[in-house]
Structures are given as structure tokens and as C-alpha cells.
């Protein structure tokens, strides 16, 4: 059987997601080389596999689900329309400005109330500043969450299994979006020994090229890793693999130990 | 599971086009057309109604918030939607069990679903469901079981072989040959 035939036999298993890691990586490498026959067979395989959904016993969602969805969608749709009509940069509601203006106007005619008014305005400003700060923090968190969601769901992202050298260690997963960066996750991770950290390396395809250092990170107290690398130093197409080593605190410019995890990029 | 609108492919395409322009009423129509099959699929995978509703909500909100991800030129809508729903449901299952993901990731599934061949265009939803079930009924019981374990449980060849106590090569053949027979049967039906 030719090598091409061997890959062709893997297509249906790949489309349904049943290939074991070695076969999957081999087929992905073959597909990355641009085999048109296998690419076409895979597209057909995916369509075919999607038809298996019709084997599911008939079931209907509740009306509440539709109501919840529509409420959310309409709510998300409405603010966008309102925002379009607002002038750019206006973040403080008009009523608030009107309230402040009214108080200022009264202060001119009511000197006895000036101090109270001043305190009120200061209090409002302090509250406004606190709210702006909170909003800014929420926006940052939202941006990060969107960033992660984008990477995880965008069709241009590539999933990379980062396999351990030691089978007792967990498999890590990276999802790499060419523009948005790399999102690495893992569970049940052991804490690095001593004062060391885990460091990500990008191994270039070019023969003799040195590994590119990237982020350093630690598992959390539960052994979980969720690491966002939004500034990978090398483009995906020029990268052969991702590797993770243990390095002294602060990271290294060149690996000082053998990689504990390695995942092929293509 | 037949939609009340029937399953006219061109009507679906027009609806998707309106939906992509952020038309809420198009979103509602798309939901009405496809929520049953999406829910049935997710329910079959996660097995619990509250979880299924949570996943279906996630799927349709993802559609709404990432409408631009779907490109009609790169494949039919319903298989794309079903692939998204299956991946989300399996993700939920795997997060719950903390198993490692072994399937092809959704980000690679999405862009490259084939343009609908004749069988996809010709069969409406109800007939397609009947046809798929009928064709699966022609497979041997363990062959059908292996395909369902891969599709609905997200298990790999090795995991299925272990679970069924069968040789790995046998399981691979069951799944591949079963899918090829299904493909041929659907093509014949068109």
C-alpha cells in the first residue's frame, strides 16, 4: 500500500475525531504539505460525519431557552444602535451633566448651600472615577476573554497537542492563531522544582536556528495552566514545534534543560 | 425534527445572509429552523437537559456574536452548525471529565466542510434523518456502536477498542467502512 493510500485510509477517522495522536499528527503533517486529494476527501468526510447528528433521538428545547436567547441578542443589538447615535468620546450620561450643572447654578444663588454642593460634586466625581476605574478593569478582562475566545474559535487557529516526554505527565494543549497569539492550557501540572519556572520555546524550522524564548509561567495552586502568549516572537509558518522546559526564575535566552513537553506545529 | 419552514436550501442561504447582517428576526428564524436538531444532538451527547440547554444557548450566542465566521462559499450552513454544536457539547463533556481532547478541534473543522453534494441538497431534514437512521440500521450492531461512540462520546479508536474489547484494527475498519457505506447510501438516495 502506498503512503498516499495509508493517509487516505485515515481520513474518515480524522473527520470523526477518532484518530489517536500519532496518526493524527502524521495526517495533519501530510495535509499541511497540501495534498489536494486528501484535503477534498476530508471536506467530504466532515460533511458526512455531520450527518450522524440525525441519529440523535428527537428532542425539543424549552421555550424558555428561546426567550433567554432572544432577550440576550436583542439587548446586545440595542446598545450598539444607541452607541452609533452618540457622539464619540461621550462616556458620562447627559443626565449626570445636567444634574451637576443644576447644582452649580443653584450654588451661585445659594451660598449657604455651597459647601454642601461642593461635597456632593466631589462625591459624585469620586464615584465617577471609581466607576470608570472599575469599567476599565472590566473592559480589560473582557478584552482578554474575547481574545482567548477568538483564538479558541477562529477557523484560522491551529490546535497543537504538546506531548510530555514522561507519560506520567499531562498532555498540554496550545491553540495558535496567526495574528492573535497562542493560548496554552493544561491540567494536573506538577509545580517546577526549586526556584524554577516553566518556559515556552518556539523551535524554528530553519536548520540550525536557535530556539526562540517566549513566556515563563507556573501552574496555579490546582495545577492548572491557562497561559496567553499574545506576542509570539516567530510566525507559525516558520515554526516547527513548541517546547517547554524548566528554567531558572526569570527565564533563559537559551534552553538550559531538555524539553519536558514538545508539540509539532505542522 | 422537520422544521416548520421545510428545508429549502436557498431559503436557508437567504436567511443566513440576513443573519450575517445582524438581523435579529433572521436569527430567530434560524433558531426556529434548526434548534431541534441542534438540541437533539447536544442532548444525545451531554445526556442532561439543563446542560444541553446551556450548550445550545452557547452555540447560538456564538453564532450571533461571531456571525462573520461562517462563510457560505466554504460550505453549507447546517453541517457547519452541527459541527459547532457537536464540538461544544464534547468540549463540555471533556471539561467535566477532565479528559484530554483527542478529536480534531473545531477551529480546524469549521473552514473546510465540503460544498454540499447532491445528496445534501436533495434530502430535506426529515428524509435525511430517516435515511441516515435506515443506513445505520444496515450496519452490524458493534459497527454502529463504534461509530456512535466516536461521534457522540468523542472517543478515539483506542478508547473504543478498549471499551468494546475488540482489536484496534477491527474498530478502525468498522468505523471507516461504516462511514463509507453511509456516504454511498446517501449518494444513492439523492
Q: Is B36 on the interface with A (CB under 8 A)?
A: yes
To the nearest whole number, what is the mean pLDDT of chain A? 82
Asked whether the beta carbons of B43 and B25 are under 8 A apart, the reply is: no
Q: How many CA atoms lie within 13 A of B54 on its CB side?
A: 11
- pLDDT tens digits for A168-219? 889 999 998 887 788 899 988 888 877 788 999 988 888 888 888 888 888 8
Asked if B86 and B39 sit in the same domain, the reply is yes
**Lowest mean pLDDT segment, chosen from B21-25, B31-35, B135-139:** B21-25
If you average pLDDT over each of A231-235, B1-5, B10-14, B71-75, which comes out highest? Answer: B10-14
**Does some domain include residue B115?**
no
Q: What is the CATH number of the domain that holds B150?
A: 1.10.10.10
Q: Name the residue facing A60 among B36, B44, B107 (closest C-beta).
A: B36
Position B104 in a domain: no
Task: Note whether residue B63 is domain-resident.
Answer: yes
For chain A, the residue count is 266
Chain A within 8 Å of B95 (Cβ-Cβ)? no
Question: What whole-number distance in Å separates Cα of residue A259 and Cα of residue A255?
Answer: 8
Same domain, B68 and B130: no
Distance, in Å, from the CA atom of A251 to the CA atom of A234, rounded to the nearest integer, reads: 18
From the list A242, A204, A3, A14, the residue with the least C-alpha distance to B150 is A14
- Crossing angle of helices B24-46 and A63-85, in 10° steps, is 140
Is the predicted ipTM greater than 0.90, yes or no? no
User: Looking at the domain assignment, is residue B108 inside a domain?
Assistant: no
Q: To the nearest whole angstrom, how far is the Cα of B110 from the nearest Cα of chain A?
A: 6
Q: In terms of domains, do B80 and B130 share one?
A: no
For residue B174, pLDDT beyond 90: yes
Assess if residue B1 is contained within a domain.
Answer: no
Contact across the interface for A17 and B111, Cβ inside 8 Å: no
Query: What would the grid cell of residue A181 be?
Result: 497569539
Cα-Cα end-to-end distance for chain B: 20
Mark whether B88 and B155 lie in a shared domain.
no
Same domain, B10 and B87: yes
pLDDT of amino acid B73: 65
Distance, in angstroms, between A203 CA and closest chain B CA? 22
Last residue of a domain, one of B48, B76, B92: B92
Q: How many domains does chain B have?
A: 2
Listed in sequence order, the DSSP H helices in B47-76 are 49-65
Cβ contact, residue pair A47, B117, below 8 Å: yes
Beginning with the edge strand found earlier in the chain, give each strand of the sheet holding A172-177 in spatial order. Answer: A212-217, A196-204, A239-248, A261-264, A158-164, A172-177, A181-186, A225-229
State which residue of chain B sits closest to A39, comparing Cα positions. Answer: B112
Residues B135 and B88 in one domain: no
Q: Is residue B12 located within the same domain as residue B87?
A: yes
Contacts of A20 in chain B (CB under 8 A): 102, 156-158
What's the pTM value of the predicted model, to 2 decimals? 0.55
Show which of residues 153-172 on chain A sit within 8 Å of chain B, judged by CB atoms: 153-159, 161, 170-171
Interface with B, mutate which of A50, A70, A223 (most B CBs under 10 A): A50
Percent of chain A with pLDDT over 70: 85
* Boundary-marking domain end, from B74, B92, B110: B92
The confidence band for A56, taking pLDDT boundaries of 50, 70 and 90, is very high
The verdict on B54 and B128 lying in the same domain is no
User: Which domain does B138 fall in, by range?
Assistant: 121-189
Predicted confidence (pLDDT) at residue B109 exceeds the cutoff of 80: no
Q: Mean pLDDT, to the nearest integer, of A20-44? A: 90
Instruction: Please check whether residues B84 and B137 belong to one and the same domain.
Output: no
Beta-carbon separation of A56 and B22 below 8 A: no
Residue B12 belongs to a domain with what CATH number? 1.10.1740.10
Residue A162's H or E segment, with its range, is: strand A158-164
| pLDDT tens per residue, range B31-47 | 998 999 999 999 999 99
- Mean local confidence (pLDDT), A17-29: 91
Residue A232 near residue A180 (C-beta atoms within 8 A): no
A175/B107 CB distance under 8 A: yes
Do the Cβ atoms of A46 and B83 come within 8 Å? yes
Alpha helices in chain A (DSSP H): 3-8, 11-16, 21-32, 36-50, 63-85, 94-109, 114-153
Same structural domain for residues B33 and B82? Answer: yes
**Residue B105 included in any domain:** no
> Is A80 a residue whose pLDDT tops 80?
no
Query: Between these two residues, A129 and B139, which has the higher pLDDT value?
Result: B139
Instruction: Indicate whether B107 belongs to any domain.
Output: no
Shared domain for B85 and B128, answered yes or no, is no
Let me know if residue B102 belongs to a domain.
no
Same domain, B63 and B135: no
Confidence of residue B129 (pLDDT cuts 50, 70, 90): confident
Which tops the pLDDT comparison, A65 or A84? A65
Taking 80 as the threshold, does the pLDDT of residue B29 lie above it? Answer: yes
Amino acid at each position: 500500500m502506498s503512503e498516499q493510500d495509508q493517509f487516505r485510509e485515515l481520513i474518515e477517522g480524522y473527520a470523526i475525531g477518532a484518530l489517536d495522536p500519532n496518526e493524527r499528527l502524521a495526517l495533519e503533517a501530510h495535509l499541511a504539505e497540501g495534498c489536494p486529494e486528501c484535503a477534498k476527501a476530508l471536506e467530504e468526510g466532515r460533511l458526512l460525519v455531520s450527518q450522524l447528528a440525525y441519529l440523535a433521538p428527537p428532542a425539543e428545547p424549552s421555550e424558555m431557552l428561546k426567550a433567554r436567547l432572544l432577550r440576550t441578542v436583542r439587548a446586545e443589538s440595542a446598545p450598539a444602535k444607541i452607541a452609533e447615535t452618540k457622539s464619540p468620546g461621550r462616556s458620562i450620561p447627559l443626565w449626570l451633566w445636567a444634574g451637576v450643572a443644576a447644582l452649580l447654578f443653584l450654588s451661585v444663588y445659594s451660598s449657604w448651600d455651597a459647601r454642601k454642593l461642593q461635597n456632593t460634586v466631589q462625591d459624585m466625581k469620586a464615584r465617577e472615577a471609581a466607576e470608570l476605574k472599575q469599567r476599565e478593569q472590566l473592559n480589560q478582562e473582557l478584552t482578554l476573554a474575547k481574545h482567548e475566545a477568538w483564538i479558541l474559535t477562529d477557523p484560522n487557529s491551529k490546535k497543537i497537542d504538546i506531548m510530555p516526554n514522561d507519560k506520567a505527565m499531562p498532555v498540554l494543549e496550545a491553540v495558535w492563531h496567526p495574528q492573535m497569539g497562542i493560548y496554552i492550557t493544561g491540567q494536573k501540572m506538577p509545580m517546577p522544582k526549586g526556584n524554577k519556572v516553566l518556559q515556552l520555546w518556539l523551535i524554528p524550522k530553519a536548520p540550525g536556528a536557535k530556539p526562540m524564548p517566549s513566556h515563563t509561567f507556573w501552574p496555579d495552586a490546582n495545577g492548572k495552566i491557562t497561559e496567553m502568549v499574545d506576542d509570539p516572537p516567530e510566525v507559525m509558518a516558520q515554526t516547527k514545534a513548541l517546547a517547554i522546559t524548566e528554567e531558572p526564575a526569570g527565564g533563559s535566552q537559551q534552553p538550559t534543560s531538555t524539553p519536558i513537553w514538545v508539540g509539532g506545529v505542522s | 425534527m422537520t422544521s416548520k419552514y421545510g428545508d429549502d436550501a436557498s431559503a436557508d442561504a437567504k436567511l443566513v445572509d440576513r443573519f450575517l447582517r445582524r438581523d435579529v428576526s433572521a436569527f430567530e428564524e434560524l433558531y426556529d429552523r434548526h434548534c431541534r436538531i441542534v438540541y437533539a444532538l447536544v442532548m444525545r451527547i451531554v445526556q442532561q437537559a439543563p446542560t444541553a440547554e446551556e450548550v445550545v444557548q452557547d452555540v447560538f450566542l456564538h453564532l450571533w456574536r461571531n456571525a462573520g465566521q461562517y462563510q457560505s462559499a466554504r460550505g453549507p450552513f447546517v453541517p457547519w452548525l452541527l459541527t459547532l454544536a457537536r464540538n461544544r457539547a464534547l468540549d463540555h463533556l471533556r471539561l467535566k471529565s477532565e479528559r484530554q481532547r483527542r478529536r480534531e478541534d473545531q477551529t480546524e473543522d469549521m473552514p473546510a466542510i465540503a460544498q454540499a453534494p447532491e445528496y445534501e441538497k436533495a434530502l430535506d431534514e426529515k428524509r435525511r434523518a430517516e435515511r441516515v437512521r435506515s443506513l445505520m440500521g444496515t450496519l452490524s450492531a458493534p459497527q454502529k456502536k463504534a461509530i456512535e461512540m466516536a461521534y457522540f462520546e468523542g472517543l478515539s479508536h483506542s478508547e473504543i477498542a478498549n471499551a468494546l474489547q475488540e482489536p484496534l484494527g477491527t474498530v478502525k475498519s468498522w468505523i471507516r467502512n461504516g462511514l463509507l457505506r453511509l456516504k454511498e447510501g446517501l449518494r444513492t438516495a439523492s
